[in-house]
Amino acid sequence: MIPWERFDSLVQQAQGESVPVVDVVSAVRLRLVEVRSQPATESEWFVFAAASLAAAACVLVFSLPGWDLLVDPLVVFFQPLGDVLP
């Protein structure tokens, strides 16, 4: 049997089966009650703040060259004139 024919027969078999009914609500609720979340400590907030500051600094460094074009978008048109004229 060709692998595609085998796959096709498995598809037909799977489509004929009924979906089992599974109720997981009670198990999830029990799991949520068992796992108690602990509040974040001050050192965890410090690490998060430091990582956020580092990410913001990286974004700032990479976006500064584009800031000149946002301040005066027409400066690109006059740049070639500055190269030609003394």
Residue range 16-44: mean pLDDT, rounded? 82
pLDDT at 47 over 90: yes
Does residue 80 sit within a domain?
yes
Residue 11 within any structural domain of the chain: no
Domain hosting residue 80, numbered range: 42-86
Residue 76 has pLDDT above 80, yes or no: no
Q: What share of the chain is helix, strand, coil (3-state, %, to 5)?
A: 75, 0, 25
Q: Domain tally for the chain?
A: 1
pTM over 0.85: no
33-51: average pLDDT: 84
